[in-house]
């Protein structure tokens, strides 16, 4: 067995992993105990990386050779790499020649390596001469970039992970770190345990698992963050809690800000934010008077039409109180993707240049042009993500190159995005997974490597650069992303600048040497810049491990914290206060759309689920798509858990089950960002296929950062009158599960509502050999569909044979099918279909998914009605993925645990082992301990609508 150090491809914490492999097979993964980001810890997603890399289902999802569609809608056909790259070069060269460089666009990803990013940026801006290159980091981190630059002078997070151990006050806002950054959250829990005096403030419209650890929870109204921060500063000024010496010595612009926040009185802030004056005062006092205050923030601030203002207003608080440039203090933006920071370093956005240079600065453009060996770099800012797809929808951009991202799932306002992909004359999708929704729109598909196969570098949230190493060779004909871009560039150079020296002198045949050459060029571009890494080398990263920037030539280590001397990377060396007045949401609630829809992450899933969505065990914690509402809102509308509702915004509509969630405020709704059309679909009344949650979200964006307001859309929620329902589920052989899912997904558009998800028997992580794969389909319609459609679903789930029991009542539109099979000494239910009458789902689904003995039931499986002929006890919903521990088992064990909450948690873990491996379930375990203890608090009252 071989062990290869690398990094996790998920969130921006940048965890180190050790990949275990044998030959071309990844066999295991564990946290790297020597990596300073995680010291051996991994979350549920990270600890299952080897399963998502090598499961039979995942292997079937891989794109393994170049494919071409002669006509849109046709099945793509294989073609050789040389022909594929020549075709792409011909089409792009023709487009540039006939319509100009800005008629093409590149949309890339924060999951690319820094070397991939660098080459794509040089390809667009240096060779083609267009700034139309943007990234899905625009949806993630661009407001954080703009906020840092506007106040501190550069896109450089000043804090580090170790600061959580020095902080005396932790201010978490717009982040459910317990789910989105679980490994960092473990460090926060450790720091809290070591320092019980630490104050934790959490501001969030939802009472998330992160809020569960708060000493002070501020359930603010969506979009009210700027008002909250300005109100806190108002109180700090009034009470004399600001540091006037620091303000005078190290900042500018405070007088304008002081005049602005005069209007943010406690009473007005309380009204706008929906919190009490007392809580506002406490938050301001704890923040300002603490010896060290650290802010952690993420998409709640970034994904907003006021994103830059939110980031800057929070940084204002740190500058006003001198809570920056010392251990445990500073504004620390948590990166959403594994290498969004690396992309920012190389200028991989439509308005940036390499090494944090500004496109608008002629001197910066000249520096980059000289480095690249071109006459100049175009000065006109390129189209950002939303603008790029709008331009393609309008016919302005003719050719699109999409790499390592899935805009047909992740972009807001899916109707516009899909119109753009349809109207663009030539679409290239460079991707590892053929199942990404965007692949369906590609004229040319190019197979890329993915985690475990790539080589290069990434940078995490704390400015730490790590080496990524390949553990196994690329499968099929897949190539590295940077190498594909280089080989395409060579073809394009022959057409756009024949006879001239190449701009891309990197050896694509020798992966490590080529990546090193690209990185060395990037390193040179940073010389003298705020992120100077000329003191680092490829060999140093290889031998000494991850390093932080800046680390200029002559330095032996990078800097853990920035601005300790109070000098900032601005013209005068001073930080700048940014005076931003609170602005309402781009789309506030109103009578026709009375709910605020927020989107966010699930604990065990990642983005569009092209990787995590292949693993049934990762659906255990949240099994199916749903929208959550406060129980009172559901009661007022006569809704019950599982009812189908139509959620409608000004852009689109979806049908989805509803679930009660008391963590929400009144008139608020929440839906996970992951549910795209691969898992949730149906057809509209006009016959269009529904496109998942982002059919609803708005493309309105922050005017400075151009980041869209994915965190809020005004919606209405109405009960969907779809009386005919279907539930179909079955265990399938792993080698056939993906094909069945794809075929079932194609049928989803024939129903007004349909969902299709994998499930598993969720064996403990240490025993994956017993894990089975299943597929679950739900559908609903106004009336019974043709029998042939239901029969097709049955056949895809293996229920068409003579071994299947059947019942049909054509008059009532009801139909049942059940297949039994012998498993050792036990007969189990292997597949079932309930059509028309799904009331028996409760016990039949449990019987199948938990593989309970079914030999006693026989034809009773087909009897209509909800009541089981004998008691069927469900194990409950999985809470701990690592050890397959359910909520029912936890509740049962807690009934026999005694002492303090900490004692009861320890006893629980001793019995069931839950939360003792990756720890992702610890916040939920602690919540369950608190809610069942002798001092359990009463449920918080519903948040009032202001």
Other CB atoms within 10 A of residue 811 CB:
7
Longest dimension (CA), the chain: 85
Q: Is the peptide bond before 550 cis (omega within 30 degrees of 0)?
A: yes
User: Which H or E run includes 384?
Assistant: none
Q: Are 462 and 469 in contact (CB under 8 A)?
A: no
d(CA 611, CA 225): 34
d(CA 177, CA 183) in angstroms, rounded, equals 9
Torsion of the alpha carbons at 356, 358, 364 and 369, rounded to the nearest 10: 90
Per the structure block, which two tokens stand in for 441? 């729109």
pLDDT, tens digit, 9 for 90 and up, residues 181-211 = 999 999 999 999 999 999 999 999 999 999 9
Tokens representing 616 are 């049934």
Q: Which of 455, 389, 385, 452 is nearest to 116 (CA)?
A: 455
Question: How far apart (Å, rounded) are the C-alpha atoms in residues 50 and 29?
Answer: 6
pLDDT of residue 935: 58
Distance of alpha carbon 187 from alpha carbon 181, whole angstroms: 10
Nearest Cα neighbor of 412 from 711, 671, 688 is 711
Q: Which tokens is 627 given?
A: 């929208």
Q: What average pLDDT does the segment 360-373 reach?
A: 97
CB atoms within 10 A of CB 559: 17
Structure tokens at 223: 């979009």
The encoded tokens of residue 770 equal 């017993």
User: Residue 562: which residues within 8 A CB-CB, separation 6 or more?
Assistant: 156, 157, 158, 325
CA distance 772 to 539: 44
718 forms beta bridges with 646
Q: Which two tokens stand for residue 46?
A: 């990270």
Q: Who has greater pLDDT, 326 or 802?
A: 326
Contact 45, 618 (CB under 8 A): yes
- The tens digit of pLDDT for each residue in 144-157 reads 999 999 999 999 99
Q: How far apart are CA 842 and CA 834, in angstroms?
A: 12
Closest-CA residue to 34 (of 13, 1, 2, 6) = 6
Which residues are bridge partners to 26 per DSSP?
Answer: 21
Structure tokens belonging to residue 483: 């190498």
Give the single-character DSSP code of 937: P
**62 HSE (CA, 13 A, CB side):** 22
Eight-state DSSP code of residue 587: S
CA 84/CA 106 separation, integer angstroms: 17
As a whole-number percent, the residues of the chain with pLDDT over 90 amount to: 90
Q: Is the dihedral of CA 316, 319, 324, 325 positive or negative?
A: positive
Closest to 457 in 3D by CA, of 335, 334, 338: 338
Enumerate residues 6+ apart whose C-beta is below 8 A from 587: 593, 649, 650, 698, 700, 709, 712, 713, 714
List the structure tokens of 240.
Answer: 């004399």
**pLDDT score recorded for residue 280:** 98
Checking DSSP bridges between strand 399-403 and strand 357-358, what pairing results, if any? Answer: unpaired
> For 521-527, which contacts have Cβ atoms below 8 Å and span 24 or more sequence positions?
521/118, 521/371, 522/114, 522/115, 522/118, 522/345, 522/346, 522/354, 522/355, 524/371, 525/346, 525/354, 525/355, 525/368, 525/371, 526/345, 526/354, 526/355, 527/552, 527/553
The predicted structure's pLDDT at residue 939 = 47
pLDDT, tens digit, 9 for 90 and up, residues 621-665: 999 999 999 999 999 999 999 999 999 999 999 999 999 999 999
Lowest mean pLDDT among 452-466, 599-613, 763-777: 763-777
Quickly count: other Cβ atoms within 10 Å of residue 764's Cβ. Answer: 17
Q: Check pLDDT > 80 for residue 940.
A: no
Three-state helix/strand/coil letters over 122-184: HHHHHHHCCCCEEEHHHHCCHHHHHHHHHHCCCCCCCCCHHHHHCCCEEEEECCCHHHHCHHH
CB of 260 closer than 8 Å to CB of 230? yes
Please tell me the distance from the alpha carbon of residue 155 to that of residue 465, in angstroms, as a whole number.
16
Cβ atoms of 503 and 490 closer than 8 Å: no
- Portion of the chain with pLDDT greater than 70, in percent: 98
Mean pLDDT value of segment 463-476: 97
Rounded CA gap, 59 and 649, in Å? 37
Could you give the 3-state DSSP secondary structure of residue 17?
strand
Q: What is the pLDDT of residue 220?
A: 98
Q: What number of residues does the chain have?
A: 946
What's the mean pLDDT in 332-361? 96
CB 335 within 8 A of CB 11: yes
Q: How large is the average pLDDT for residues 133-144?
A: 97
3-state class (DSSP) for residue 597 = strand
pLDDT at 769: 72
| Backbone phi, psi, residue 274, to 5° | 75, 30
Residue listed under structure tokens 């345990």: 193
Average pLDDT score over residue span 14-30: 96
Burial of 856 per CB tally in 10 Å (0-12, 13-18, 19+): exposed
**How large is the average pLDDT for residues 127-146?**
97
- The predicted-structure confidence for 738-778, as pLDDT tens digits, reads as follows 899 999 998 998 999 999 999 998 778 877 778 899 999 99
Please say if the pLDDT value at position 608 is more than 60: yes
Using 50, 70 and 90 to split pLDDT, how confident is the model at 937? very low
Instruction: Using alpha carbons, select from 374, 315, 394, 281 the residue that is nearest to residue 151.
Output: 315
What is each CA distance from 123 to 343, 397, 484, 684, 746, in whole angstroms? 14, 17, 11, 41, 37
The CA-based angle 158-164-169, given to 5 degrees, is 95
Strands (E), 711-803: 713-719, 724-732, 753-760, 773-781
Predicted confidence at residue 946, as pLDDT, reads: 37
Question: Which residue has tokens 């012998």?
Answer: 822
Strands (E), 8-46: 16-22, 25-31
Quick check: 754 and 728 in contact, CB under 8 A?
no
Contact 219, 225 (CB under 8 A): no
For residue 568 the two structure tokens come to: 């900032």
Q: pTM to 2 decimals?
A: 0.96
Q: Is 733's pLDDT higher than 70?
A: yes
pLDDT at 945 (0 to 100):
41
CB 582 within 8 A of CB 226: yes
Q: Which residues contact 784 (CB under 8 A, 6 or more apart)?
A: 724, 813, 835, 836
Residue 717 has pLDDT above 70, yes or no: yes
Q: How far apart are CA 95 and CA 172, in angstroms?
A: 47
Confidence of residue 22 (pLDDT cuts 50, 70, 90): very high
Strand-strand pairing, 216-218 and 199-203? parallel
Average pLDDT, the chain: 95
- For the four alpha carbons of 509, 512, 513 and 514, in that order, the dihedral sign comes to positive
Cβ 459 vs Cβ 439: under 8 Å: no
Instruction: Return the CA Rg of the chain.
Output: 27
């Amino acid at each position: 067995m071989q062990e290869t150090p690398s990094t996790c491809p998920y969130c921006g914490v940048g965890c180190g992993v050790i990949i275990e492999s044998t030959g071309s097979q990844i066999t295991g993964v564990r946290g790297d105990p020597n990596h300073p980001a995680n010291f051996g810890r991994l979350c549920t997603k990270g600890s299952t990386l080897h399963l998502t890399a090598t499961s039979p289902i995942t292997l079937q999802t891989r794109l393994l050779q170049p494919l071409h569609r002669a006509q849109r809608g046709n099945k793509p056909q294989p073609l050789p790499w040389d022909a594929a790259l020549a075709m792409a070069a011909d089409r792009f060269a023709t487009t540039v020649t006939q319509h100009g460089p800005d008629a093409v666009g590149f949309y890339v990803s924060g999951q690319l390596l820094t070397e991939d990013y660098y080459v794509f940026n040089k390809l667009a801006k240096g060779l083609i001469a267009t700034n139309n290159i943007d990234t899905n980091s625009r949806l993630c981190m661009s407001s954080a970039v703009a906020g840092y630059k506007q106040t501190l002078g550069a896109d450089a997070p000043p804090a580090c992970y170790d600061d959580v151990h020095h902080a005396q006050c932790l201010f978490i806002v717009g982040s459910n770190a317990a789910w989105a950054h679980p490994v960092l959250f473990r460090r926060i829990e450790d720091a809290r345990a070591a320092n019980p005096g630490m104050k934790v403030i959490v501001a969030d419209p939802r009472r998330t698992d992160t809020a569960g650890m708060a000493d002070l929870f501020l359930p603010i109204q969506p979009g009210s963050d700027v008002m909250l921060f300005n109100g806190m500063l108002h109180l700090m000024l009034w009470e004399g809690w600001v540091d006037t010496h620091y303000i005078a010595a190290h900042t500018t612009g405070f007088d304008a800000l002081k005049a602005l926040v005069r209007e943010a009185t406690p009473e007005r802030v309380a009204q706008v934010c929906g919190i009490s004056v007392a809580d506002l005062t406490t938050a301001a006092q704890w923040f300002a008077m603490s010896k060290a205050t650290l802010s952690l923030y993420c998409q709640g601030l970034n994904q907003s039409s006021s994103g830059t203002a939110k980031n800057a207003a929070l940084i204002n608080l740190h500058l006003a109180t001198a809570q920056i440039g010392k251990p445990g203090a500073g504004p620390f933006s948590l990166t959403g993707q594994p290498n969004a920071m690396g992309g920012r370093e190389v200028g991989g956005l439509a308005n940036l240049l390499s090494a944090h240079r500004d496109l608008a600065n002629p001197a910066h453009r000249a520096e980059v042009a000289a480095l690249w060996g071109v006459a100049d770099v175009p000065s006109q800012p390129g189209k950002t993500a939303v603008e790029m797809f709008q331009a393609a929808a309008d016919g302005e951009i003719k050719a699109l190159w999409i790499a390592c991202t899935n805009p047909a799932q992740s972009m807001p306002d899916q109707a516009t995005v899909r119109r753009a992909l349809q109207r663009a004359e030539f679409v290239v999708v460079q991707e590892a997974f053929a199942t990404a929704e965007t692949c369906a729109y590609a004229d040319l598909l190019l197979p890329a490597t993915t985690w475990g196969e790539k080589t290069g570098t990434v940078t995490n949230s704390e400015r730490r650069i790590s080496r990524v190493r390949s553990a196994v060779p690329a499968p099929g004909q897949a190539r590295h992303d940077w190498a594909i871009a280089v080989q395409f560039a060579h073809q394009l150079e022959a057409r756009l600048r024949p006879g001239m020296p190449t701009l891309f002198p990197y050896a694509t045949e020798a992966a490590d040497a080529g990546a090193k050459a690209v990185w060395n060029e990037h390193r040179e571009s940073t010389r003298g810049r705020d992120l100077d890494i000329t003191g680092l080398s490829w060999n140093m990263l290889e031998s000494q491990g991850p390093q932080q920037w800046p680390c200029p030539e002559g330095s032996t280590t990078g800097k853990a914290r920035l601005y300790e001397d109070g000098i900032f990377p601005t013209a005068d060396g001073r930080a700048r206060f940014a005076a931003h007045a609170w602005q309402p949401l781009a789309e506030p609630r109103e009578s026709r759309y009375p709910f605020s829809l927020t989107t966010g992450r699930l604990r065990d899933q990642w983005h569009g689920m092209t990787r995590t969505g292949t693993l049934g065990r990762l659906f255990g914690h949240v099994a199916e798509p749903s929208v959550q509402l406060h129980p009172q809102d559901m009661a007022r509308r006569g809704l019950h858990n599982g009812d189908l509702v139509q959620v409608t915004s000004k852009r689109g509509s979806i049908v989805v089950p509803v679930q009660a969630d008391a963590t929400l405020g009144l008139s608020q709704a929440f839906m996970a960002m992951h549910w795209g059309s691969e898992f949730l679909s149906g057809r509209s009344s006009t016959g269009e296929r529904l496109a998942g949650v982002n059919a609803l979200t708005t493309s309105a964006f922050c005017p400075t950062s151009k980041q869209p307001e994915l965190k809020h859309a005004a919606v209405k929620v109405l009960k969907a009158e779809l009386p005919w329902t279907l539930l179909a589920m079955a265990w399938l052989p792993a080698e056939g599960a993906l094909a069945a899912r794809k075929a079932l997904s194609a049928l989803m558009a024939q129903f007004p509502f349909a969902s299709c998800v994998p499930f598993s028997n969720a064996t403990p992580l240490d025993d994956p050999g017993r894990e089975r794969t299943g597929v679950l389909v739900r559908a609903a319609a106004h009336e019974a569909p043709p029998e042939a459609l239901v029969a097709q679903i049955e056949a895809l789930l293996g229920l068409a044979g003579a071994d299947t029991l059947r019942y049909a009542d054509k008059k009532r539109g009801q139909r049942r099918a059940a297949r039994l099979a012998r498993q050792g000494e036990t007969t189990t239910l292997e597949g079932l279909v309930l059509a028309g009458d799904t009331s028996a789902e409760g016990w039949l689904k449990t019987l199948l998914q938990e593989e309970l003995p079914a030999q006693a039931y026989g034809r009773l499986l087909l009897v209509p009605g909800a009541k089981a002929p004998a008691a069927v006890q469900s194990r409950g919903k999985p809470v701990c993925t690592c050890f397959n521990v359910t909520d029912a088992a936890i509740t049962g064990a807690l009934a026999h645990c005694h002492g303090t909450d900490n004692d009861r948690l320890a006893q629980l873990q001793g019995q069931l082992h839950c939360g003792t491996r990756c720890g992702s379930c610890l916040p939920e375990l602690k919540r369950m301990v608190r809610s069942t203890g002798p001092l359990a608090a009463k449920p918080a009252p519903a948040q009032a609508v202001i």
